[in-house]
Amino acid sequence: MPVNLVAPEARSLLPVAGVELGVAEAHVRKPNRKDVLVVKLADGTRVSGVFTLNRFCAAPVLICKQHLAAGTGIRALLVNTGNANAGTGNDGLARAQQTCEALATALQCQPEQILPFSTGVIMEPLPAERIIAGLPQAIANLKADNWADAAEAIMTTDIVAKGVSRQLEIGGNTVTVTGIAKGSGMIHPNMATMLGYIATDAAVSQPALDALIQHAVNRSFNCITVDGDTSTNDALVLLATGQAGHAELTEADADYLALREAVTEVAMLLAQAIVRDGEGATKFMTIQVEAGQDEAECRQIAYAIAHSPLIKTAFFASDPNLGRILAAIGYAGVADLDVSKLKLYLGDVLVAEQGGRAASYVEADGAAVMQQAEILVRVVLGRGEASARVWTCDFSYDYVKINADYRS
Amino acid sequence: MPVNLVAPEARSLLPVAGVELGVAEAHVRKPNRKDVLVVKLADGTRVSGVFTLNRFCAAPVLICKQHLAAGTGIRALLVNTGNANAGTGNDGLARAQQTCEALATALQCQPEQILPFSTGVIMEPLPAERIIAGLPQAIANLKADNWADAAEAIMTTDIVAKGVSRQLEIGGNTVTVTGIAKGSGMIHPNMATMLGYIATDAAVSQPALDALIQHAVNRSFNCITVDGDTSTNDALVLLATGQAGHAELTEADADYLALREAVTEVAMLLAQAIVRDGEGATKFMTIQVEAGQDEAECRQIAYAIAHSPLIKTAFFASDPNLGRILAAIGYAGVADLDVSKLKLYLGDVLVAEQGGRAASYVEADGAAVMQQAEILVRVVLGRGEASARVWTCDFSYDYVKINADYRS
């Protein structure tokens, strides 16, 4: 069961001027479910994307990068679920290109003005003809207040649809930021995986938009892990239609910082939603590492904790098994770490210091924290000013069940 | 259930001249089980050890390193289960030292001639007084043909005791190599963890012995993973009593290579036994990465596969879920990897090439391989001559059960 996560009400996902969304039941893999999404963008919309670093990146990821590099402006996104078009070689590229051509014809633009995204089973040929056959239905229901349907259309094994909106004022105009995402692990069973779309009607210069997405992703999607696996298809796209009516923002503007904060918050909540809906998750954990020499070592330690199957099963069992956390800190790879100087907290409870259990610690206090659905693990390294934070979930029987049974 | 692993028959573990072993039921943590082992070494025995790189290394590991550095010769090993004496700070060091002093007094040697080892629960004070009280019993039953009892005495959550012997001829003399090990994960629930002891009556110079253990560990204990966690207590010790009657070997001797091969084989079989007895293991997997530019990148890819919970659950389910393996290869961090050049085999079955599924592949062939208890995953990178091999096991419901329930 997702941890403290419910699907957003349709009316809570606010339209973004210049963005229309339409969905179709195209039977990509299964009948009777929304599995194709078209997002139509007003002319002049600026687009920035970050994509998986996996060397086996999927065909649509390669094409997205090409089309963004072409610089002719993006007019639509085309997303399908049910098939990831990953591990499909040249044939996969050709099929993805066919879907772009079909949508470009329908929308009267160029194929390189379409960004394709696929999520679903790996190593199966993309049924391009079924996606293309579904396009008229998706185009027919294009509308601005369709974000909730869109959030649902991009789900794969997600239990709950994920979306969030924020508004702010810029130069007397109301600016909206709305985002949706899917994923319930950094990688799924044999699914591939994390997709996120955040749109705003703010006007932002391209360099500022590129900086903004990097800032937001570093504080959101790059801070989560369910199982440590990095998907072949991960993608986050930030769209700025420029229709809010204010002057274009650059990084030097004070309003840019306000927009950046709103977009980062939307990204963070979407990323956290992915962890809350993590496969088999019963707990939501924040791993916070403080007082390190630099952010890199803090992240290294946070991820060592967040990736340890031993720690994640202990959280599932509500077992305050501190030795496992100390061991993970110890093997994280910070070579000159002086373990006698660090402090470990579970919630507010000091559990370890001076290389061992804190004198004040009693197991009942740790156990009380471990019973909670949201748990903070704090490591204070005592060697600097840097910090990092990672969100993850526990590791349950259901994780094994979901991943062992998925294809059968 | 352990995968193709049975406890060694007592008579199959051959005595090593100059080594006597005695065990005691000292009630370190639980009554009525062998939990203390004393290994007494003939004067002049050469000792070499490799220890965990975990920064939170346990008190006995620190003391072992000090005592080996003292260079006064090692006369005995003292091993306890039930308590790891890790995460115990200065108090842990003092307690470990007390046990060394007590054994040194009993054996009429110096405390720095004792190497202490502990395995068991982390962050609990070592009951030094109970271990010391058990020493007379262990010393009373010191004998050369006690390896099977010793293998049993060092078990924690191991299901099966682990030991193996080999013999070879050096200069007309029979030389024996006998080893025992414990561990059923690189780290246990809240146990700490892998211990290995290999003894030979060969005569080997200290530099050659140090080189030998490094060679052996790199091809054995450094090639296994159950859950990717590195323990605070891991230790492997190689003992050479020099009583076989031949002249002392240096690295230049041809016979040194024969000995190295025998010791490496013993180490490899012990390491594999740990994986076969891996927590919840139902399958034994060999991950072999070939034709890489260097061994490091081959190991990187092999470990990415061996550590992926997604792949390990797929093996548990006998699901030939190739996309997960390709994804792991892709995210292993080999930045310039050309995925279109690699080939992936399950056993003898070619499953992927040219960036996607092999044309000849049918799922029934992959499924047949996945049904087996011992599975070879072969990745041929097509970019060089180097290779690496890693052994691991699958990830089952029982892994979660063992690790979630252990302390309750």
Nearest Cα residue to A308 out of A337, A329, A339, A333: A329
Q: What is the pLDDT of residue A148?
A: 97
Element (H or E) spanning A379, and its range?
A: strand A374-380
Find out whether A408 is annotated in a ligand binding site: yes
Q: Which residues lie closer than 8 Å to B6 by C-beta, 6 or more apart?
A: B160
User: Taking CB atoms and an 8 Å limit, are A54 and B331 in contact across chains?
Assistant: yes
User: Taking CB atoms and an 8 Å limit, are A404 and B313 in contact across chains?
Assistant: yes
- The ipTM assigned to this model is 0.72
Q: What is the pLDDT of residue A193?
A: 77
Q: What is the pLDDT of residue B327?
A: 85
Question: A175-213 burial, b if ≥16 CB within 10 A, otherwise e?
Answer: bbbbbbbbbbbbbbbbbbbbbbbbbbbbbbbeebbbbbb
> Is B206 buried (19+), middle (13-18) or exposed (0-12) by CB count in 10 A?
middle
- Asked about B72 being catalytic, the answer comes back as no
Q: Is B3 helix (H, G, I), strand (E, B) or coil?
A: coil
**Homologous superfamily of A284-405:** ArgJ beta chain, C-terminal domain (3.10.20.340)
Q: What is the pLDDT of residue B188?
A: 41
Describe the crossing of helices B322-331 and B309-316 by its angle, rounded to 10 degrees: 160
**Homologous superfamily of A10-276:** L-amino peptidase D-ALA esterase/amidase (3.60.70.12)
Same fold, A10-276 and A284-405: no
Nearest Cα residue to B322 out of B333, B331, B313, B311: B311
Say whether residue A405 is in contact with chain B using an 8 A CB cutoff: yes
Find out whether B401 is annotated in a ligand binding site: no
Positions in chain B short of pLDDT 70: 184-192, 227-230, 402-408
Q: What is the pLDDT of residue A280?
A: 82
Nearest Cα residue to B57 out of B13, B118, B124: B118
Describe the crossing of helices B322-331 and B295-307 by its angle, rounded to 10 degrees: 130
| Dihedral pair phi/psi, residue B385, rounded to 5° | -115, -10
Say whether residue A156 is in contact with chain B using an 8 A CB cutoff: no
pLDDT in tens, B235-278: 999 999 999 999 999 999 999 999 999 999 999 999 999 989 88
Q: Which residues lie closer than 8 Å to A197 by C-beta, 6 or more apart?
A: A39, A77, A150, A179, A180, A181, A236, A237, A239
Find out whether B112 is annotated in a ligand binding site: no
Is the separation of the CB atoms in B399 and A309 below 8 Å? yes
User: Taking CB atoms and an 8 Å limit, are A53 and B331 in contact across chains?
Assistant: yes
The count of other CB atoms within 10 Å of the CB of residue B145 is 13
User: Taking CB atoms and an 8 Å limit, are B56 and A123 in contact across chains?
Assistant: no
Q: Which of B53, B312, B398, B403 is the best mutation test for A, with the most CBs of A within 10 A? A: B403
**Closest CB from A87, A316, A397 relative to B326:** A87
The domains of chain B are located at 10-276, 284-405
Q: Tokens representing A152?
A: 């649902």
CA distance B213 to B260: 8
**Closest CB from A87, A227, A228 relative to B357:** A87
The count of other CB atoms within 10 Å of the CB of residue A384 is 14
Element (H or E) spanning B363, and its range?
A: helix B363-370
Q: Is B324 helix (H, G, I), strand (E, B) or coil?
A: helix
Between residues 172 and 201 of chain A, which touch chain B (CB distance below 8 Å)?
A: 185, 187, 189-190, 192
The one catalytic residue in A193, A225, A264, A282 is A193
**pLDDT tens, residue order, chain A (408 aa):** 788 888 888 889 999 999 999 999 999 999 999 999 999 999 999 999 999 888 888 999 999 999 999 999 999 999 999 999 998 889 999 999 999 999 999 999 999 999 999 998 888 899 999 999 999 999 999 999 999 999 999 998 888 999 999 999 999 999 999 999 998 664 443 445 789 999 999 999 999 999 999 999 989 988 887 766 667 778 999 999 999 999 999 999 999 999 999 999 999 999 999 989 887 889 999 999 999 999 999 999 999 899 888 888 889 888 887 888 988 898 888 989 998 999 999 999 999 999 888 999 998 999 999 999 999 999 999 999 999 999 999 888 777 776 666 443
Q: Sort out which chain A residues have CB atoms less than 8 A from B324's CB and list them.
A: 122, 187, 189-190, 229
For A401, which residue in chain B has the nearest alpha carbon?
A: B397
